[in-house]
Each structure stands twice: as structure tokens, then as C-alpha cells.
Structure 1
Amino acid sequence: MKQDRIKHTFAIAIAVALLLSLIACHSTPEIVTKSPSSSRTTELELPGKGVKVSPASGDSVMSQFISEITRFGLEKLGYEVEELKVLNTTVLFLGLGNGEIDVAPTLEKFHANFFEKVGGEKNLERIGLYTSSDILQSYLIDRKTAEQYKITNLVQLKDPKLARQFDSDGDGKANLAGCDPGFACEQIIDHHLKIYGLEDTVNHDKGQWEVLLADIVARYKQGKPVLYFSRNSDWVNSVLHPDKDVIRLEIPFTSLPGEMGKGMTQKDTTTGGKNLGFAVDKARFVASRQFLSANPTAKRWFERIQVPFEDIITQEKLAYEGQNRSKDIRRHAEEWVKTHQALVDGWLEEARIAGKASK
């Protein structure tokens, strides 16, 4: 009897031990998920956590599109990203210079004056190359008229007969679709017309760029000669293709107004053997040195972003067709990221590694 009680007690002890063992095994996953090492992993994936970033862009579609892609990555890295400020060039660089703005996409040579006026390399740093293609600005005419009258150089329009081919308002002068008032390109075009002796035969039509270019496209489709200024990143290049539908005109010699012309040579304005009269430019971010020093993760992210030129032109065209509101451009940026997800994920990982290496 006594022996039976001992056996019974022993069996209960074994059962209790097994039950405790099972409870311990099932509790292990909960202990692992709350371990300190898991918290460290999250911190490493979000190296920007707790840091505010103030981005800005110029008012061009290209600048806004690139800025939205930039914001997306910063958010994924844990940064607290403020709403994008869309500003004119003067206000944009003042904000960069006084620390109110941390980063913005710019053009290296086109914006060089603004860069220097707010402290230059003492306060700011040019970084990355957000599109690898050179940014070209030039005067263009339709290929048909160029070949018919053998026009290759802007200065040929000193001839009233040739200038009249591009007269759209009946005053006998060529109408050159140019730039928005207040833009740097407005100053350059006015300077060129004066320095090349063209003021008596060529009028600089100023106004909203998109409207001027839309009118050029309409005239071209009607079979009329066209003369206009454009960048190779503008949407118009997807409709009027350089070297096929239109040709870029050369200028007689390099001359740019005021500070813009400082140190500028023919080499700076020449590409493919043609002197276009405008600096051949690079698309780069400008960021606060103080911000970059404190945020190596963000710095590496800026360095890695690079959008194909064709995608920028596509975005410009979408905006021209009506999808030009801030929310449209933000949506297009998100769609671009999804289409290039593996590439973007690689950039983000490089940024995280840069952040780890700095600690």
C-alpha cells in the first residue's frame, strides 16, 4: 500500500515536471521578441529616428519630382520629414544658407551665384548627381527651316530676311520663346540678344515657360517655323526631338551676364562640338554642411539617388498634360520607387551601413 502511494506520488511529480517544461518552451518566443537585441535591430533600420529634416525644391517639375523621391527615402530611414517647400531660387538658397532648409536639388553652374552669395562651401556642400546626364540649355529651331535656309548659328538672325521666318506677331522680327521673368535664363537671353547684335531683329517673348512651349508645339504641328529656348530636361523634348524634329543653334562666342560669366570659357558652354552659349550643367543636391556632418546616413542617401533622364522627361510631360499638382508629383515619385524597388532598397541599405560605420 505504502509502495503504491510512493509510485503514485512519483508519477505526479514527473507529470508536473513535463508540464513546466512545456510551458517554458512555449514562452521562449515571447522572451526573444522582447529581447534587447531586437530593439537594437530596429534602431539600426531607422537610423534617422528622432531627427527632423526640412527639404525644399525649386518650382520646376524636375526639382519637385526628385525632392519627393528624396523625401520617401528619408522617411524609410526613420527621419521626421517636413512637408516639401516649393520656393523660387532666391528664397531657396537663403533658406539653405541660414539653416532653415537642410537639402534641395539644384544645378551646379546655373545656381553658382546663389550658392556663393549664401556662404558657399563654408556653409553648404554640393553632393551626389541625381541624374547622370548633363543638363543642356540651348536655342532651337525646326529642322525644316534650318535646312532650307542653312541656319546653324543664332547670330545669322541678324539678317532681317531670316529673322522674319520666325515672326509670329507680324512686326517683322523673329519671336524667340524664352523664359519666365525673373529667371536666370531671362537675363542670359536678354544679354545674348544685346551682345550678339540681335535686338533689332529678334524679340524675346517672356512669360510662363509651359505656356510658351505649348504654343511652340502648336505652331510646329501647323507646319510653321519655330524658335525657342529650352532645357533638355523639359517635356517638349518628348514631342520635338532634338536632331530629328529640331536642331540646337550655336552661338558665335561665349558670353554670360555679370557674375554668371565669371570664369566661364568656351569649354564650359560647349558639348558635342557645339557652343550652345549656356553652361553645360550637372544636377546636384545642395545641403547644409552641419546637417550632413551629423547625419551620414542621409548624406549617403543623397549620394546614391540617381534618376534616368528619360524618367524625368516623362514626369515633365505628365505635368504638362495636367498632372502637375503637388499630390500628383508625390504619387508619381512613389510609383517610380515601386518600379525601381530593388534599386532603391539597395540605396537605403548603403545609407544604413554608412550610418553604422560612423558610430
Structure 2
Amino acid sequence: MKLHRKKPIFAIAVALIVGLISCQSTPESTTKSPGNSRSTEVGLPGKGVKVRPGSGTSVTGQFVSEILRIGLEKLGYEVEELKQLNTTALFLALGNDEIDVTPILEKVYANFFEKAGGEKKLQVVGMFADSEILQGYSIDKKTAEQYKITNLVQLKDPKLAQLFDSDGDGKANLTGCNPGLTCELIIDRHLKVYGLEDTVKQDKGEIEVLKADIITRYQQGKPVLYYSWNLSWLTSVLQTGKDVVWLEVPFTSLPGEKGKEVTQKDTTAGGKNLGFAVDKGRIAASQQFLESNPAAKRWFELVRVPFEDIITQEKLAHEGKSRPKDIRRHAEEWVKNHQALVDGWLEEARIAGKASK
């Protein structure tokens, strides 16, 4: 009988020991698990949140948007494919909560911003380009010096206007913008308010084709007159001050209610009134999205791309590497080439996300 009693006691003792070991190991496991979970949440503050990015049709907008997308993905957001839209459709989508974020030119797009809901619905943050953005009218330096042309309004003179006549109708051909873009509307307004409609007309069309025509005419030694901005690859081919010069305008006049608020001081750079507001590349997003996603907001605030990198991207697109997958690849290469800088931005964004919890 004694033997039968010892077996249960031994079994009970073993069970107690195993139980104690289990009790000791369980708290350790439990402690690690929440720690890992919190670490994941901090590292991926956007986990489970969808982002719908948009951009205009410009290469610059697409390139910057892809850099933004890469960062959002690294923060854990579920980022949809980029929607490329013209300016009107882009702001309509932003105002109607169909997209969450897009790069913009702050002053040029001010009227569209207001129509999309303004500061009641939207917010502008960050500055994606590292310098001020200039837009205006350029002519070749040779013609400018030979005929002493410094101001666009001088082309009221039919003889001067005919210098830039490339289609034989007697009017100067001013190479302009794609139909529907803000710059097209501004140029048309300028021709009207400066009294130039009888001597100057805007050539509208696909911007890359128009740029190629400008270069061809310049290389043939013919006078050129065109609208451009300093983020275009064209500036690396026809350099301001060396090959071409900016023209002034007689006074500042921009369309829309917001245009009335723009003064000569706002459109002047280097002592010249260029007629277009000296601008900044910013990020526009819905108020609701930014308030709910402080990590994304901080990321938008920090991203800044050097001018020369944007111009390089524009040039690559001009050379045929303009498909969405090309621009995405170039954005990935840019991030890799600036990894330490980007990692620092991402860490700040994660901290902002953590602080909000």
C-alpha cells in the first residue's frame, strides 16, 4: 500500500514543478509581446490607414508625389496608386474627399484652393522644393540686346512682334502652356490687359513638344519668345542670363479673386516684375486627414527636394523616361541616394505619430 501512495505524491510534485515553471515563463512571454506590439505601432504609425495621393500632370508633381508615397509606405500606410489629373479635376477631387494629398504651387493655385473649400477643408504644409519658384516670359538674349527689348508690352509694336512670327500671320508666337493649365489662363489675361491681342498670340499644346520647338528655333538662330518656369529642364539647355533673359511686364494682373490680392512686390524677382507670383512648392491635404495622421503630416512638412534634382528628373522625362514606372524608379533612386536624410525625416514622423497616441 505504501508503494501505491508514493506514486501519486511524486506525480503531484512533478506537476507542481511544471506548473511553477509555466507560471514563471508566462509573465516573461506576456511582457515581451506587448512590448513588441508597441514597437510595431511606433514604427508603423500608419498601419491600417489608406492614403489616396494625387498630382497634376507635370513631371515635377509626379516625382514629388512618388517620394511622398515611398515615405508613407515606410510609415505603414496603405498607399493607393497615384491619380494624375489636370488642375481643375485635381482640386475638385481634393475638395470632394476623393484624394487626400497633392503637391501644389501655393500662389498659382490659390483660386483653385479656395474653390475646393479653402482653409475650412484643406491645409497647406511643407515646402517640397528647396528654393523659390519663378515663372515668366523669356526671349533669346541676342534679340533682346539687338532690339533693346526688356518688357513684354514693347511687342505692341508690330515690327518687334513680327520678329517672333513663326507661322506667317504677322503676330508674335508666344510659346505657352497646355490648355487647361493655370499658366494658360494667366498668359491669355496678360495679352488682353496689356493690349497685346492684336500683335501676340499664345501657342498652346503639349508642353514637351512646345519646348522642343523652342530649342530648334534657337539652334537655327531664330528669335524665341516663350513662357517657362525655373524648374523646367529647358533652363538647363537655355540658361537665363547666358542664352535667354526674362522680360518684365508693365504691371501685375492675375485672374480670380485671389489674383486681386497679388501685388507687384509678390511678382518681382531680381528687380524685375515677371508677371507671375514668386511661388513655393507646397503640399495640400485635407484638414481631416492631417488631423488624424500626425505622422503623415510631419512627413509632408519635412520632405524637401533640391532644385537640381527636380530639373534632372524633368530632363530624364524629356529624354523618354516619363512613364509612371520610370518616375517611380527615379523616386526610389533619389530616396536611396539621400537615405540618411530620409531616414531622419521618417524618424521625426514616427515620433510625431507616437506623441499623438
| TM-score normalised over the length of structure 2 | 0.90
1: CA distance, partners of 2:199 / 2:33: 78
- Verify the 8 A CA contact 2:178 2:207 in the aligned structure 1: yes
Corresponding residue for residue 3 of structure 2: none
**Cα gap change, 1:185 to 1:127, in 2 (>3 Å):** same
Query: Which residue is 1:81 aligned to?
Result: 79
Mapping 1:267-282, distance limit 5 Å: 267-282=265-280
2:187 maps to a residue whose letter is: I
| Residue equivalent to 1:200 | 198
What SS does the corresponding residue of 2:179 show, helix, strand or coil?
Answer: coil
Do residues 257 (structure 1) and 255 (structure 2) align? yes
- In the alignment, which residue of structure 1 is the partner of 2:142? 144
Amino acid at match of 2:61: S
Unaligned segments of structure 2, at least 5 residues: 1-21
Equivalent position amino acid for 1:341 in 2 = Q
Distance of 1:161 and 1:308 partners within structure 2: 42
CA distance in 2, matches of 1:271, 1:253: 14
Aligned counterpart, 1:18: none
Tell me what 2:177 maps to: 179
3-state SS in 1 of match to 2:127: strand
Show CA shifts across 1:306-335 (max 9, x none): 000111111011101100100000000000
Give the corresponding residue for 1:354: 352
1:172 & 1:197 partners in 2: Cα distance?
16
Q: Number of residues paired by the alignment?
A: 334
Contact 2:111 2:259 in 1 (8 A): no
Q: What residue is the counterpart of 2:307 in the other structure?
A: 309
Match of 2:321 in 1: 323
CA distance in 2, matches of 1:33, 1:347: 31
CA distance in 2, matches of 1:202, 1:297: 50
CA distance in 2, matches of 1:293, 1:186: 35
Which amino acid counterpart does residue 170 of structure 1 have in structure 2?
G
Residue in structure 1 matched with residue 7 of structure 2 by the alignment: none
In structure 2, C-alpha distance between the alignment counterparts of 1:95 and 1:186, rounded to whole Å: 21
Q: Aligned partners of 1:97 and 1:343: how far apart in 2?
A: 32
Residue 155 (structure 2) pairs with residue 160 (structure 1): no
How much has 1:228 moved relative to structure 2? 0.3
1:131-189 deviation line (CA, Å, top 9, x unaligned): 12111110000011111111111111111221121111122221110111122211211
Per-residue CA distance 1:221-246 (angstroms, 9 max, x = gap):
11111000011111111111111110
* Secondary structure at the counterpart of residue 211 of structure 1: helix
Identity of counterpart residues, as a percentage?
Answer: 74
Question: 2:97: which partner in 1?
Answer: 99
Q: How does 1:40-51 map to 2 (within 5 A)?
A: 40-51=38-49
**Hey, what's the Cα distance between the residues in 2 that align with 1:175 and 1:264?**
27
Q: Could you tell me how far apart the structure 2 residues matched to 1:184 and 1:48 are?
A: 34
Q: Out of 163, 169, 191, which is 2:167 matched to? A: 169
Cα root mean square deviation, aligned: 1.9
AA matched with 1:100: E
TM-score (norm 1): 0.89
Q: Return the offset for 1:260.
A: 4.8
Q: What is the distance in 2 between the residues matched to 1:98 and 1:355?
A: 26
The residue aligned with 1:63 is 61
Structure 2 CA distance for aligned equivalents of residues 94 and 229 of structure 1: 26
**Letter in structure 2 aligned against 1:261:** G
Cα distance in 2 between the residues matched to 1:198 and 1:292:
45
Q: After superposition, where does 1:218-233 map in structure 2 within 5 Å?
A: 218-233=216-231
- The structural deviation recorded for 1:247 is 0.3
1:3 paired residue number: none
